[in-house]
Structure 1
Amino acid sequence: MKNKLYILLGIIFILLIFKLGNWGLTESSEARYAEIAREMVISGDYINPTLLGIKHLHKPPVTYYLTALGYKIFGINEFGARFFMQLGLVLQLVLVFKISLQLFKSEKIAVAALLIYFSFPITVIAVRTLTTDAYLTTFILASIYFWLQYKTHLKPYNLYLFYFFLGLIFETKGPVGFMIPVTFVITYKILHKNKIEANIHQFLGFILFLLVSAAWYLIVMYKNDGLFDYFINNQLVERISENNFKRGKPIWYYIFLMPLVGMPWLFYFIFYFKKNIKTILKQKKTDFLLIITFLTLFILLSISTSKLILYVLPLYFILAIFSARYLSLCSEKTMKSISNFYYVLIITVTAALFIASFLNIELTINRFYSFLVFVFFGIIASLLKTKILNTNFLKPAFLGVVFIVSIIISSDFIFKENELKINSVKPLAEFIKNNSQIENEVVVYNYLLPSLSFYLNKDITTINHGKYTTEREVQFETNDQWKKHLINYFENSERERLLKLASDKPIFLIKRKKDIFPDTLNILAKKLNHKKNFDKFEVYY
């Protein structure tokens, strides 16, 4: 089984990195992380992350460091930015397998959990654009696995690894990342009636956690007065209680969206829970442990003001394990219905892609390629459906993997041909490069476009006219150098500087189509001879 598992993981990794740098960085999150890491590499300052030349101390730096390492190995490009997330997903699959094996002592259930976890759309979404969530989930799973290993084998090195990964969680997302492993450990101890341990290894492990988790925070707070209050009030309390980051969603947000990025397994999790609720509550064993962990984080995330769908990614390993358990217990008829569902889904999605290539829609779809995808995955799905017996409960899980692989392969090429549609401004940056004969200034009106700086490899100027993303936090700047590339339109002197900037050298002035230039910029735009449209953007030059 191990050799087959390694081969499977190798194939998955190759599929994940295939054409990984094929499409441009997407705004805004991916472009922001990628540009911060680029500025780190260029400046050599790995303590104070900057975005467009201004300190950006919103998050701890692990994601930036891993991205910067990708740049060092593969160059400053999209592939380098995304590479380690793919490796992170493969590690997540290994950890889901090992956690499942540890909990249920069944290789088949563990393999099914691995396959199901990979077949969730959300797990793939999390690694196709650069964010912290893929790394955070990897560290959370690692901490849970090494905790289970320690409780089983009582080897101290597993305890140290548990504390080490807790430290990495803190250096990736701050204290909010602790919720799953801490809930899991506390519930585990209560269910197994474990006493609080007090020994040298626990003490040293906790010291290791403090060293790993606090290292960057202590250094950066020492160098930036007032940063402690900023972390507590702005980045922790306000994220939970206020909508300062425009991520406010209703309390039912995750109830509605989680099934869409976890279909169809989320429904089978509900069936399993409904069927076994009395046993689970009575025995209070492994199932109960996982459910309490799931519900605790789900409730906390739902009542929090700040919500993004990827915040619930760490919950899906629990859904994968429950789905694998359900498959191992369900009837042949149920397994057949799940297999049929996936078979129809694969044929429908790939056929729809091919049909869409004939239609007059906004997306550009290569007809020949979409036909190959339809035929290839149709054949693979048909072979799996007919050759694997319905009594083999891994059959639906394998079909789920075929479905998600068809999505990965299709999206890689669709994204490349529709970069502007997926919110990448790479074509716009290439246009500026091709039309720049001498040194010029790139000015963006009332919108933050970090990927422009990434692709042009130069500083760009942002005009702040009230858009919340352009209102940068400059309280930690030690000089006025940041003002050179941030213009406050509300100040008369800054508007004059803008006009002077345009007279000193050629400029490219960029705005979103839905925005309306104020008077000063209208005057400036009329002086520029050319205009080019790029989907949501207009470029004056």
Structure 2
Amino acid sequence: MNLKDTTLYQFLIVFLALASIPALFGGVMEPDGALYASMSKNIILFQDWFNLYGRGADWLDKPHLTFWITATSFKVFGISAFAYKLPSFLFGLLGAWYLFKLAKDIYDEKTGLISAVIFLSALHIITSTFDVRAEIYITTFTLASIYHYHKAHQGSFWHLIAGSFFAACAILIKGIFVLIPVFAGFIIYWLFTKQYKQLWQPKWWIAIVLIFVFITPELYALYTQFDLHPEKIVFERTGVSGLKFFFWDSQFGRFFNNGPIKGKGDISFFLHTTLWAFLPWSILFYTAVINLFKKKNRINLAPESIMIWASAAVTFLIFSLSKFQLPHYILIVFPQFSIITALYLRKLEGKSLKVFFNVQNVLAILVFALLSALSIVYGFDYPYLMIGMLLVVLAGSFLFFKGIKLETIMARSAFVSVELMLFLFIFFYPAILKYQSGGIAGEWLKKNYPTAKPAVLNYIDAFSFDFYAPGEVKYLHNYEDLDKIKHEQNLVIYVPEVELTKLKSEYGAEVLKSFEYFHITKLTGKFLNAKTRAQVLEHFYLVKLH
């Protein structure tokens, strides 16, 4: 295919965006996605935009903006999986646009386009388009803030306001720690280039003030829901301050592992997470990083490159030292990773170009082989049809894009990502969602008992049932809670198998429908193998009391 290089990159961006669209029509996945969707649903049901409720109780963890965005979409399009996913999809495209703008401003248009292609085709961006959480939002808001502050550095006050607004939005998604990737790059850039006066420029202190002005809705919401009500039980205790949690416990508490939400840290966690999360570009990215340690490879780069490197490096280091780590955290620095990789790709020539041409070709074949094997082992209805579709994409990338050159590497790698999108969005995710029993039960209940009053007994993680079931879902934490409402008309309860015997013998429970369950975001070999899947399945039930 003979296309001008910039035209090719534009085509790949559009192609990747179009290939992402099927994700919008899939289901919402547990745990986080379904939890956030159910909480946004509660905003609409209760007509309460300031108090957050999850699992049937006051909820204190993430700030409000993710839920405000989703609830707004529900208000416009109705409560559905599509309405939940659409804003994240659009913000992902906005993030790619800001990435293009930033890289173009610092380097040139071609680097901007290559960076956008890399970003949109990274594996964890692809999976996050289907399994929507908060990370696409935070990535876009952080990147937009960096872009506008970069422009403000050149003198525009309006860009300063925009940068502060987007920085505040990032905080309203994740918390105060997001200021690290925003400001760390600038501060280290100023120090390395001896622009010490920038640290005392009034405009940057005004920017900080503006950020705090823009986050006041969050502070008001937390204060009214928690600080004004110390009697509320949160984290199994009373007297919990929403403001203290926002500024300290949710951020520093996670980092030092002394807050109410704890984890286990591994300093190498994000090193190996990046290997799969940034596919098909991770080998190139790590090579690019190593390459930057050689002074000769940094000489001709724009001075602002320091800002990109520092933003990524400091954030990556802090994540690695944190005691609370999850794979999707790394998405926030994927724009910086994309620029670093794009710059390295543009310098490839001779032997190095040939090496990575072969590396990416081998990777493309390996991905095809892995997906083909999984198609057969999983037990899809038409595995060879799936393999045929994947083969068409792979063959097309080799037939239309030839020659040992950068454009071929970019196109074939992007087509690998399109293969993954087709496999995941059209076949794999819909297949495994059949084992997300809460979602299936909620949809069945909505169709067959639309006037039901749904409840959950002794199972607090019924997030997808909460989202898909009609109306408000009540959480019954014990049988005393059940006794209080057991005589309600149209009561239908979602229960794990362990509760079924008691419900039948003491409450005259009638089983309306049974559902197979597996924790589909923690896949195992036994589950993926059709022959052994039954061994690891659990069962949940919808029951009616008589």
Same fold (TM over 0.5): yes
Return the letter of the residue paired with 2:168: G
1:510 to 482, 494, 518: 494
Match of 1:86 in 2: 89
- Mean Cα deviation higher: 160-169 or 195-204: 195-204
Match of 2:510 in 1: 528
Do 1:27 and 1:424's aligned partners in 2 also have CA atoms closer than 8 Å?
Answer: no
Give yes or no for the alignment of 1:17 onto 2:21: yes
Q: Deviations over 1:96-144 (max 9, x none)?
A: 222222222x332222222222221112222322211110010111111
- Mean Cα deviation higher: 134-143 or 227-236: 227-236
Q: How does 1:383-398 map to 2 (within 5 A)?
A: 383-386=399-402, 389-391=403-405, 393-398=406-411
Give the C-alpha shift of residue 87 in structure 1: 1.3
2:42 to 36, 39, 44: 39
Q: How does 1:290-329 map to 2 (within 5 A)?
A: 290-329=308-347
Match of 1:349 in 2: 367
Matched residue of 1:45: which SS? coil
Equivalent-residue separation in structure 2 for 1:277 and 1:437 (angstroms): 62
Give the C-alpha shift of residue 357 in structure 1: 4.2
Matched residue of 1:48: which SS? coil
Match of 1:228 in 2: 243
Equivalent-residue separation in structure 2 for 1:524 and 1:507 (angstroms): 16
Structure 1 residues 196 and 212: alpha-carbon distance in aligned structure 2, compared to 1, 3 A threshold = same
Match of 1:479 in 2: none
Equivalent-residue separation in structure 2 for 1:183 and 1:276 (angstroms): 19
Do 1:441 and 1:507's aligned partners in 2 also have CA atoms closer than 8 Å?
Answer: yes
Matched residue of 2:433: which SS? coil
Structure 1 residues 223 and 251: alpha-carbon distance in aligned structure 2, compared to 1, 3 A threshold = same
Equivalent-residue separation in structure 2 for 1:54 and 1:364 (angstroms): 40
Do 2:85 and 2:132's aligned partners in 1 also have CA atoms closer than 8 Å?
Answer: yes
5+ residue gaps, structure 1, are 465-488, 490-494
1:237 to 232, 239, 252: 252
Give the C-alpha shift of residue 67 in structure 1: 1.0
TM-score normalised by the chain length of structure 2:
0.82
Q: Deviations over 1:174-201 (max 9, x none)?
A: 1011110110110121122221366675
TM-score normalised by the chain length of structure 1:
0.83
Structure 1 residues 280 and 129: alpha-carbon distance in aligned structure 2, compared to 1, 3 A threshold = farther
Give the C-alpha shift of residue 159 in structure 1: 1.8
Give yes or no for the alignment of 1:97 onto 2:112: no
Give the C-alpha shift of residue 76 in structure 1: 1.1
1:406 to 383, 398, 419: 419
Do 2:137 and 2:173's aligned partners in 1 also have CA atoms closer than 8 Å?
Answer: yes
1:498 to 482, 487, 507: 482
Matched residue of 1:425: which SS? helix
- Mean Cα deviation higher: 57-66 or 521-530: 521-530
Match of 1:210 in 2: 212
Match of 2:168 in 1: 167
Matched residue of 1:18: which SS? helix
Equivalent-residue separation in structure 2 for 1:131 and 1:507 (angstroms): 31
Do 1:101 and 1:110's aligned partners in 2 also have CA atoms closer than 8 Å?
Answer: yes
Structure 1 residues 182 and 68: alpha-carbon distance in aligned structure 2, compared to 1, 3 A threshold = same
Equivalent-residue separation in structure 2 for 1:538 and 1:115 (angstroms): 42
5+ residue gaps, structure 2, are 228-240, 518-537
Return the letter of the residue paired with 1:381: S
Do 1:281 and 1:288's aligned partners in 2 also have CA atoms closer than 8 Å?
Answer: no
- Over the residues paired in the alignment, what is the CA RMSD in angstroms? 3.1
Do 1:102 and 1:148's aligned partners in 2 also have CA atoms closer than 8 Å?
Answer: no
Give the C-alpha shift of residue 377 in structure 1: 0.2
Return the letter of the residue paired with 1:250: D
Do 1:101 and 1:107's aligned partners in 2 also have CA atoms closer than 8 Å?
Answer: yes
Aligned length: 501
- Mean Cα deviation higher: 522-531 or 10-19: 522-531
Matched residue of 1:458: which SS? coil
1:334 to 348, 352, 373: 352
Do 2:394 and 2:419's aligned partners in 1 also have CA atoms closer than 8 Å?
Answer: no
Give the C-alpha shift of residue 247 in structure 1: 4.0
Give the C-alpha shift of residue 355 in structure 1: 5.1
Structure 1 residues 91 and 424: alpha-carbon distance in aligned structure 2, compared to 1, 3 A threshold = farther
Q: How does 1:350-369 map to 2 (within 5 A)?
A: 350=368, 352-354=370-372, 356-359=374-377, 361=378, 364-367=380-383, 369=385
Q: Deviations over 1:1-45 (max 9, x none)?
A: 888766654443333223512x22111100111111111122221
Q: Deviations over 1:206-255 (max 9, x none)?
A: 44322112232134314532322343454233322228546434232112
Return the letter of the residue paired with 2:394: G
Return the letter of the residue paired with 1:253: F
Equivalent-residue separation in structure 1 for 2:446 and 2:308 (angstroms): 53
Equivalent-residue separation in structure 2 for 1:136 and 1:429 (angstroms): 30
Q: Deviations over 1:370-406 (max 9, x none)?
A: 14422430232112442xx323x23212222111111
Equivalent-residue separation in structure 2 for 1:282 and 1:351 (angstroms): 38
Return the letter of the residue paired with 1:190: L
Matched residue of 2:61: which SS? coil
Match of 2:276 in 1: 260
- Mean Cα deviation higher: 120-129 or 306-315: 120-129
